């Protein structure tokens, strides 16, 4: 046992929640909750819009990765009883907002970017949402969410991904959302470093913090489900393969992304890092250590802007900073690794949207209603999502791991500005979080949309409460070859159970894929 773990035992054993009711002249003031953890004492507050939800919005899980700590694995926080207010969302990790129009940025910016969001390299924080009545004895199941964004953008402070309304509705689970380092700061691929996948190590450090401290917030460390969307789904699956013997979870939810989606890079030359270093005045002239030392003191916004503006210019070769194959956290052959049994044997939700690729192809800004060629969208959908999800299903079926599948196929006025987009990549996010009303100027919420949202929440919550039996109790059975999956929001119905061959058949050379079921 590590020294830090030994030292934390007495404190963890005495974790308490202290309620303080302020006195005012009316009965509408909500109580504030103060919680003691191994790394500090935090005061949250009741959500102003959802009085049944308590939120702790800014809790650090590692030391700030700044200056001499930049490009290094996350460092644990010391034991502490220092008090902090956790009533505002934390800064997002360094990232660049592209000037190139896209479907999402043009029509859904209000759902994707908070108007008050700020950026800081001191960003290794998590946020926790609980029912307002929760105490340390509640032992509620916990969903730990890893946001997506292509490992380039994203984080906690995304309006579509704030779960206040879902917590208010369920009153029976906890959601934890995690910031992790992105782009060159999270995946530098620099010649002078041993650890390149810092963003994945951030995620693991956050999971370890949650395991140690979630009981103080009313959660049960034995009831954690690790959930990621897009890049977060790929990361969730990567962690399930890297830490297969100790996954710190009893279930997985891979939403539109698995390790078979194939985004890792194998180039170990550090060429992209060196190009950026030279561009910001850190030409190491072949000395990798000197290059790193210089880059640690360049302002993060200088680095971020250089990379982002280079990408926006369309210059070639393109720069990318993505997970790096290191055979420790990211592997070159996941099929072989799975064949050797090195994957967490945990019940898993695997999901896709029906027309994933439509929000990922170049956006026809000059004539948006004309759309983009569906043949290209279809290729992105199949090769990036549908078939990788099928491969992950087969992988887990080999070990009799329960796999629950869904396809989101809903199209609603406030989430679909054009018919050609269909159920695009990420369009199921606001349905799960119950945030489909965030964008106000596209269209109205429909009864079917609300019904579909509640159905999706109920299916995921059934899994969260009991990954082995909960889904089956509501008619959602594990998926095997020839089985059925849930289709949400299509054909005027919130829920349908359809033959998996309708979605997966094309990956087996059977039939054609319908992106608009």
Select from 374, 410, 404 the least CA-distant residue to 389.
404
For residue range 328-369, list pLDDT tens digits in order: 999 999 989 988 999 999 999 999 999 999 999 999 999 999
Domain count, the chain: 1
- Looking at the domain assignment, is residue 377 inside a domain? yes
Q: Identify whether 67 is part of a domain.
A: no
Please report whether residue 301 resides in a domain.
no
What is the domain-level CATH number for residue 263? 3.40.50.1820
Tell me whether residue 401 is in a domain: yes
For the CA atoms of 462, 467, 469, 471, the dihedral, rounded to the nearest 10 degrees, stands at 40
Tell me the catalytic residues: 230, 356, 425
What distance in Å separates the CA atoms of residue 476 and residue 455, rounded to the nearest whole number? 12
Q: In terms of residue numbers, what domain contains 334?
A: 3-60+81-267+323-508
Q: Write out pLDDT tens, residues 21-67.
A: 333 333 333 345 899 999 999 999 999 999 999 999 999 999 999 99
In a domain, 453, yes or no: yes
Structure tokens at 205: 């450090």
* DSSP 3-state of 513: coil
Of the candidates 511, 510, 491, 465, the one whose C-alpha atom is nearest the C-alpha of residue 407 is 491
For the four alpha carbons of 436, 438, 441 and 444, in that order, the dihedral sign comes to positive
pLDDT digits (tens, 9 = 90+) for 276-311: 999 999 987 789 999 999 999 999 999 999 999 999
Let me know if residue 190 belongs to a domain: yes
Per-residue confidence (pLDDT) for residue 331, from 0 to 100: 96
The pLDDT tens digits for 448-466 are 999 999 999 999 999 999 9
Buried b (16+ CB within 10 A) or exposed e, 167-201: bbbbeebbbbbbbbbbbbbbbbbbbbbeebbbbbb
193 CB contacts (<8 Å, ≥6 apart)? 71, 292
Tens-place pLDDT, residues 243-285: 999 999 999 999 999 999 987 888 878 999 999 999 999 987 7
The candidate with the shortest Cα–Cα distance to 504, out of 404, 386, 422, is 386
- Residue 470 in domain: yes
Cα separation of 378 and 286, whole Å? 44
- Burial (CB count <10 Å: 0-12, 13-18, 19+), residue 512: exposed
Cα gap 461→482, rounded to integer Å = 25
On the question of pLDDT at 138 being above 90, the answer is yes
* CA 418/CA 431 separation, integer angstroms: 18
Over residues 74-102, the pLDDT tens digits come to 999 999 999 999 999 999 999 999 999 99
Per the domain annotation, does 408 fall within a domain? Answer: yes
Place of tokens 């909750």: 33
Nearest to 358 by CA among 45, 107, 58: 107
At 117, is the pLDDT very low, low, confident or very high (cuts 50, 70, 90)? confident
Is the CB of residue 431 less than 8 Å from the CB of residue 452? yes
Looking at residue 19, its pLDDT comes to: 33
- On the question of a cis peptide bond just before residue 323, with omega within 30 degrees of 0, the verdict is no
């Amino acid at each position: 046992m590590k020294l830090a773990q030994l030292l934390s035992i007495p404190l963890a054993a005495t974790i308490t929640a202290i309620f303080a009711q302020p006195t005012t002249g009316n009965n509408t003031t909500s109580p504030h909750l103060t919680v003691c953890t191994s790394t500090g004492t935090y005061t949250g507050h009741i959500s102003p819009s959802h009085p049944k939800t308590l939120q702790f919005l800014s809790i650090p899980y590692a030391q700030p990765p700044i200056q001499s700590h930049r490009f290094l694995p996350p460092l644990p926080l010391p034991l502490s009883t220092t008090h902090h207010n956790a009533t505002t969302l934390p800064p997002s990790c360094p990232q660049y907002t592209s000037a190139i129009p896209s479907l999402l940025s043009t029509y859904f910016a209000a759902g994707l970017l908070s108007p008050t969001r700020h950026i800081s390299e001191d960003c290794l924080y998590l946020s926790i949402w609980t029912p307002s009545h929760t105490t340390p004895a509640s032992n509620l199941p916990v969903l730990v969410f890893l946001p997506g964004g292509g490992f380039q953008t994203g984080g906690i402070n995304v309006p579509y991904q704030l779960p206040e309304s879902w917590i208010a509705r369920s009153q029976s689970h906890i959601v934890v959302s995690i910031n992790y380092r992105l782009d060159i700061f999270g995946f530098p691929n620099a010649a002078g470093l041993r650890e390149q996948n810092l963003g994945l190590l951030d995620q693991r450090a956050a999971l370890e913090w949650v395991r140690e401290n979630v009981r103080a917030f009313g959660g049960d460390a034995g009831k954690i489900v690790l959930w990621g969307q897009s890049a977060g789904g790929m990361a969730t699956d990567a962690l399930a393969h890297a830490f297969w013997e100790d996954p710190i979870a009893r279930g997985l939810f891979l939403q539109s992304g698995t390790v078979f989606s194939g985004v890792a890079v194998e180039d170990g030359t550090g060429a992209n890092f060196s190009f950026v270093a030279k561009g910001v005045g850190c030409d190491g002239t072949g000395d990798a250590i000197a290059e790193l030392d210089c880059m640690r003191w360049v302002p993060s916004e200088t680095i971020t802007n250089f990379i982002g503006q280079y990408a926006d210019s369309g210059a070639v070769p393109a720069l990318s900073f993505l997970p790096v194959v290191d055979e420790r956290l990211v592997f070159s052959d996941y099929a072989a690794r799975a064949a050797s049994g090195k994957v967490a044997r945990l019940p898993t939700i695997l999901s896709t949207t029906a027309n994933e690729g439509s929000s990922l192809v170049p956006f026809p800004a000059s004539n948006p209603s004309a759309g983009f060629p569906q043949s290209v969208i279809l290729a992105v959908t199949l090769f990036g999502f549908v078939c990788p999800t099928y491969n992950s299903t087969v992988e887990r079926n080999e070990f009799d791991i329960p796999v629950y599948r869904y396809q989101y196929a809903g199209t609603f006025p406030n989430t679909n500005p054009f018919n050609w987009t269909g159920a695009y990549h990420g369009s199921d996010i606001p349905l799960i979080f119950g945030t489909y009303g965030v964008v106000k100027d596209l269209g109205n919420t429909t009864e079917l949309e609300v019904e579909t949202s509640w159905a999706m929440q109920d299916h995921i919550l059934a899994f969260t409460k009991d990954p082995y039996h909960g889904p089956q109790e509501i008619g959602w059975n594990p998926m095997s070859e020839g089985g059925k999956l849930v289709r949400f929001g299509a054909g005027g119905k919130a829920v349908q159970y359809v033959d998996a061959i309708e979605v997966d058949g094309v990956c087996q050379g059977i039939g054609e894929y319908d992106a608009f079921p």
